[in-house]
Amino acid sequence: MNNRISFLKSLVDIECVKFGNFTLKSGQQSPIYIDLRNIVSYPELLTNLALLFKEEINLSAQRICGVPYAALPIATMISAHTGLPMLIKRKEAKGYGTKKMLEGAYKPGDKVVLVEDVITSGQSLIETIKVLEDEGLIIEQILVVLDREQGGIEKLTNQGYNVSSLFSVSSLIDLLISENKIDVDTYNEVKVFLNNNHSITPIQEQTKKYFPQTHQHPIAQKLLNIANTKKSNLIASVDLTSAQDIINFLSIVGEDICAAKLHVDIIKDFSQDFIKELKALSEKLQFLIIEDRKFADIGNTQLLQLSQGIYSIASWADMVTIHLIAGEASLKAIQDWDTAIKPALIPIIEMSSKGALTDNDYIEKCKQFLYNYADVIGAVCQNTTLKTGFLKFTPGINLSAKEDNKGQNYNSPSHAIENLQSDFLIIGRGLYLSDNPKKEIDNYLSEVRKMDFFSEIK
């Protein structure tokens, strides 16, 4: 036990474990970052890890293989201490020679211990398992150094594999706080993250995400109809400041989006003629209009902002965004507003910006009352799970970037749909700043459609 405690402490000392605000490979935001590759520079620590694994290995195992690349030196050291012959699985096949994906001496039927450094979703393991099983090898056991507790182990266990880890993130932070190596705020932040993201992958596997078909609100139903017809759940965030630039941009991408999201107060030459042209274009190309006004005042002020002034937002916006910082009364005022031109409401309960104050406590307080109002059709959020029947709008979608230099964090389309369980994806600068918006929107559509997202629920 002392050897295990000593090893965990060392991971922090050599910066294999860091705390802060990190973007993972999947695009997901995390308060803890784990990268065990630094271990290769510490032979004594690598040896200790191999000896810990030696105690766990099944006696029936005949070969050992590390998941590339981080687990390769770990598997090598285990091989040296156990005498188990090692196999190397390549990331990609060589373009010359034998072009093999698996190197080493083996024969079909050999039982293999598979070693991984960190498991999150289990995807890297799944890819390695396929290569080994295609060669006729049997996965006898899967050993992992550290489990991020996001469903990977459960997923592989449900598929019949024998999987175990030496440590989990929970055991790591429990030790660190008891040793005063992290403070209470950091400990709680990681605990909240684990609670919000535990077992994402198994849930996803058991209940595949399909695009919704029906909604009780007429505007939401219209939005769903457009999206299902176009096979597109993309919303263009159009943060342009010229009316003509907005019209020109939407003329290019309008056929491929289900909605356009504007910030009307940044348009330098706003006019009602622009609104007429925008509405005509939206009807022609079949997309709805969201005014991202982010109302955040008392109810009476919000009604004035909706209906009065030069913008007269309620007269043309199909949907508007609203913060719930003013409390439930701000929603009730709009709900009670007796008018025929009321837009649907999309509360913002979780933001994509780094360091956002929309923490778990705020989110839970919002969820206590936002479901009680018929004008609310869904919410803008990231990791939060919404009640069935409420649409999830996720901003910060980008095919390549992970963050900018202004505090914006990004998610990939596949991560947003498969892991965050999002319904609508909001794309901003990755689209309207593109040199070729039409080509770029096609790239986003391709990513969405290859996930079979718009098939009817089986």
**The total number of structural domains that make up the chain:** 2
Give me the amino acid identity at 93.
A
Mean pLDDT over 134-156 rounds to 91
Tokens of 14: 């050599």
Helices (H), 198-347: 200-206, 218-230, 243-253, 272-285, 299-307, 328-335
DSSP 397: E
Query: 106-115, 337-346, 409-418: lowest mean pLDDT where?
Result: 409-418
Hey, what are 385's tokens?
């799970």
| Whether 324 and 405 share a structural domain | yes
- Which regions of 241-390 does DSSP assign to beta strands (E)? 259-262, 288-295, 319-323, 344-348, 378-380
User: Do 318 and 409 lie in a common domain?
Assistant: yes
Domain boundary among 205, 227, 246: 205
In a domain, 455, yes or no: no
Tell me whether residue 211 is in a domain. Answer: no
In-domain check, residue 456: no
Claim to verify: residue 146 and residue 226 sit in the same structural domain: no
Residues 126 and 245 in one domain: no
157 inside domain: yes
Question: Which among 111, 181, 294, 342 is annotated as catalytic?
Answer: 294
407 in any annotated domain: yes
> Do 99 and 151 lie in a common domain?
yes
Least confident of 95-109, 164-178, 270-284, 399-413: 399-413
Is there a single domain that holds both residue 261 and residue 384? Answer: yes
The answer to whether the CB of 56 falls within 8 A of the CB of 151 is no
Q: Does the pLDDT of residue 69 top 60, yes or no?
A: yes
Question: 6 and 147 share a domain?
Answer: yes
Residue 406 pLDDT: 45
Strands (E), 370-445: 378-380, 391-397, 424-427
Q: Is 212 exposed, middle or buried (0-12, 13-18, 19+ CB in 10 A)?
A: buried
User: Which segments of 83-213 does DSSP mark as H helices, in order?
Assistant: 123-134, 152-158, 169-178, 184-197, 200-206
Q: Which residues contact 436 (CB under 8 A, 6 or more apart)?
A: none
Strands 319-323 and 344-348: parallel
Q: Where a domain ends, among 180, 205, 230?
A: 205
> For residue 75, is it within any domain?
yes
Domain stop point among 205, 233, 258? 205
In this structure, which amino acid lies at residue 440? Answer: E
452 part of the active site: no
118 and 235 belong to one structural domain:
no
The CATH number assigned to the domain holding 310 equals 3.20.20.70
Amino acid at 165: S
- Higher pLDDT pick, 77 / 298: 77
361: annotated active-site residue: no
Over residues 196-251, the pLDDT tens digits come to 776 543 333 434 577 888 898 999 999 999 999 999 999 999 999 999 999 999 99
69-98 average pLDDT score: 84
- Full domain range(s) for residue 55: 2-205
**Contact (Cβ atoms closer than 8 angstroms) between residue 76 and residue 42:** no
Q: Is the pLDDT of residue 9 over 90?
A: no
Q: Does residue 26 register a pLDDT over 90?
A: no
Contact predicate 302/322, CB 8 Å: yes
Same domain for 244 and 138 = no
Residues 10 and 140 in one domain: yes
Share of the chain above pLDDT 90, in %: 51
Residue 416 pLDDT class (50, 70, 90 cuts): confident
- The answer to whether residue 213 sits within a structural domain is no
Are residues 130 and 261 part of one domain? Answer: no
pLDDT on residue 323: 93
Tell me what pLDDT residue 269 has. 95
User: What CATH number is associated with residue 56?
Assistant: 3.40.50.2020
pLDDT (tens digit, 9 = 90+) per residue, 286-335? Answer: 999 999 999 988 888 989 989 999 999 999 999 999 999 888 888 888 88
Which pLDDT score is estimated for 276? 96
Which residue out of 35, 297, 354, 365 is catalytically annotated?
297
Q: Are residues 196 and 222 in the same domain?
A: no
Tokens of 320: 């508007």
Question: Which pLDDT tens digit goes with each residue over 266-282?
Answer: 999 999 999 999 999 99
State the pLDDT at residue 96: 53
Residues 6+ apart with CB under 8 A from 324: 330, 331, 347, 348, 349, 366, 369, 370
The per-residue pLDDT for 359 is 74
Return d(Cα 339, Cα 290) in angstroms, integer.
19
Residue 289 lies in a domain: yes
